Amino acid sequence: MGGNNRYVYTIYGVNNPRVIFNNNTTDPATRQQHPGINQPGIEITEDEMWIVNETVYSQKPQGITVHFYRPSNWEYWDTRIYFYEDNNILMEWPGTLMNSQMYDNWLTYTIYGIDNPKVIFNDSQNKQIPGVLQEGHLVTRDVWYKDGIWSTYKP
């Protein structure tokens, strides 16, 4: 088990094992699994492998970490990040939950495999940054957002 939504598992004494990730439920309505049901597992062929958003890497992938300071009137447990590239929808609205540090209002999410994502933050109460019908904010490196200001360092 690791932090930041990372899980680590070491496999001993097996050559080229296959792994399947799931959310530990048998309820067909809520079950999630990668690879999909009735698909072969991901073959582990390297000493170290990383699987991020269903993509397999032989080394830790580089990503863009987005830090968001949650406004006090936002839903704490349902702050999400939605990201896309021009003319390329990468996920369904409202996006994915951001990771909480639990000791302050900073939330984070690392985007992998996308060079020029545009991001939109939202919560379950229809609050959104940038606003409705506005283009997402282009991020090309690690960034911090607080009180309307974007920065490349923690404010």
| Domain of residue 130, CATH code | 2.60.40.10
| Average pLDDT estimate for 129-138 | 95
Query: Do 47 and 84 belong together in one domain?
Result: no
Confidence of residue 152 (pLDDT cuts 50, 70, 90): very high
Confidence of residue 1 (pLDDT cuts 50, 70, 90): very low
- Write down the mean pLDDT value for the chain: 87
| Average pLDDT estimate for 130-139 | 95
The whole-number pLDDT of residue 34 equals: 82
Domain's final residue, options 59, 86, 106: 59
| Average pLDDT estimate for 105-121 | 92
The tens digit of pLDDT for each residue in 75-91 reads 777 899 999 998 888 88
How many residues belong to the chain? Answer: 155
The whole-number pLDDT of residue 31 equals: 79
Query: What does the alpha-carbon distance between residue 120 and residue 95 come to, in Å, rounded to a whole number?
Result: 9
Query: Do 53 and 80 belong together in one domain?
Result: no
Query: Do 4 and 70 belong together in one domain?
Result: no
Question: DSSP characters for the chain?
Answer: --STT-------S-SS-EE-EE-S---TTT--EESPTTSPPEE--SSS-EEETTEEESSPPPEEEEEEE--TTS-GGG-EEEEEETTEE-S-TT-EEPEE-SSSSEEEEEEES-SS-EEEEE-TTS-EESPTTPPPEE-SS-EEEETTEEESS--
Q: Which residues contact 95 (CB under 8 A, 6 or more apart)?
A: 80, 81, 82, 83, 120, 122
Query: Do 83 and 11 belong together in one domain?
Result: no
Q: Among 18-22, 50-54, 101-105, name the most confident range.
A: 18-22
Query: Do 69 and 139 belong together in one domain?
Result: yes
Query: Do 71 and 142 belong together in one domain?
Result: yes
Query: Do 32 and 89 belong together in one domain?
Result: no
Total number of domains in the chain: 2
The whole-number pLDDT of residue 143 equals: 97
Query: Domain residues for 48?
Result: 1-59
The tens digit of pLDDT for each residue in 33-49 reads 888 888 998 888 888 88
The whole-number pLDDT of residue 44 equals: 87
Confidence of residue 3 (pLDDT cuts 50, 70, 90): very low
Query: Do 24 and 80 belong together in one domain?
Result: no
Query: What does the alpha-carbon distance between residue 24 and residue 34 come to, in Å, rounded to a whole number?
Result: 12
CA distances from 59 to 13, 54, 110, 133 (A): 21, 15, 16, 38
Query: Do 71 and 139 belong together in one domain?
Result: yes
Query: Do 54 and 71 belong together in one domain?
Result: no
Domain's final residue, options 59, 78, 93: 59
Query: Do 37 and 75 belong together in one domain?
Result: no
Confidence of residue 32 (pLDDT cuts 50, 70, 90): confident
Query: What does the alpha-carbon distance between residue 72 and residue 102 come to, in Å, rounded to a whole number?
Result: 14
Domain's final residue, options 21, 43, 59: 59
Query: Do 76 and 51 belong together in one domain?
Result: no
